[in-house]
Amino acid sequence: NSKEEGGKHASFFKKQMEKSFSEKMILDHSLHEAIRENQFELYYQPKIDSNTEELSGMEALIRWQHPEYGIISPSTFIPIAEELGLIFEIDKWCIFQACKQNKAWHNKGYPDMPVSVNLSAKCLYEPDLISILKSSLEATGLDAKYLKLEITEGVFIRDPDLVIDKIKKINQLGIAISIDDFGMGYSSLYHLLHLPIQEIKIDKIFVQDINKDEKQGAIVNMIISLAHRLRLNVVAEGIETKEEVNRLRQYQCNEFQGYYYSKPLNHKEFTQYLINTDKK
Ligand code: C2E
Ligand code: MG
Ligand code: MG
Ligand code: MG
């Protein structure tokens, strides 16, 4: 029932967010402790090629294994970490960890495939970001083509020129950029026009019940066609049924991700997943 406890804890945290400065200090302390004590763990969710139905990549998703409260979901603590200015510490760790794990799988002889890491848009304003990316690749020996960064929209507004420039620098390293939760931000089309990105991920809100709502189908179909005209790769997330897969394939979506294929797995479970797909 760690999920249940996580849920209880999630609401505890939500309340905390609205609370006083001194209480936020306590959270600040426990997040610092989490960083120091290595309480974070990366889970990996498979991405599937829509043509071959084969594994085409994976997304790294962070979990906080709290000594008292059990597993805490990122949607609970990432916003707090952003607010407290701790997000770069956390995302740095994720980048390094994901590169290291991916390289380890390559070395063990599993098929080479990219790992996508979520990067808080706040980190785009960190002067050290580029050198952190470089040193993570160098230290782990992972080729840049096996690392992608997923950035949620919404962010870019504050200083578009700086963000465009930063994304170009990331691209120059050979790292692809993906816009996460596409369609949920408030200037999706502006971003498509101006940001030098390589991929969009259609938010699960648009994927769920795609067959029950004609409007929704029309929008997803349009997003995919538009993205393809711009030569972008399209991933659909939050796929839970065969019907959703069929419809998205009809619209020529490139990659699929969701519980229908697999939940996010810890590194041991993901290794088993690799072994199982190898045998097929
Ligand atoms: P996201 O990047 O859009 O990730 C997709 C979320 O949907 C994940 O939640 C995933 O577990 C969940 N999901 C996957 N398939 C399904 C499905 O079929 N149905 C449903 N209902 N959900 C599905 P998760 O792992 O709780 O992560 C939530 C968000 O937290 C992520 O959304 C991402 O924005 C953020 N996040 C996760 N890890 C990191 C990280 O290392 N750094 C940063 N900055 N943000 C992170
Ligand atoms: Mg993501
Ligand atoms: Mg998303
Ligand atoms: Mg998100």
CA of 152, closest atom in ligand 1: 34
Q: Which tokens belong to 16?
A: 């905390």
Window from 94-98, 159-163, 177-181, 244-248 with minimum mean pLDDT: 159-163
State the complex-level ipTM.
0.98
Q: Which residues fall inside 5 Å of ion ligand 4, going by CB?
A: 152, 180-181
- The number of beta carbons lying within 10 Å of the beta carbon of residue 244 is 23
pLDDT at 101: 98
Residue percentage of the chain with pLDDT more than 90: 70
Give the best-scoring range by mean pLDDT among 23-27, 103-107, 213-217: 103-107
Window from 17-26, 58-67, 130-139, 201-210 with minimum mean pLDDT: 17-26
CA of 43, closest atom in ligand 1: 25
Q: Which ligand is nearest to the CA of 62?
A: 1
pLDDT at 1: 41
Compute, in angstroms, the gap from residue 129 CA to the centroid of ligand 1: 22
pTM as predicted: 0.92
Q: What would the mean pLDDT of 187-196 be, rounded to a whole number?
A: 85
Residue 174, H or E segment: none
Q: What is the CA radius of gyration of the chain?
A: 19
Pocket test for ligand 1, best of 118, 155, 178 (most atoms within 8 A of CB): 118
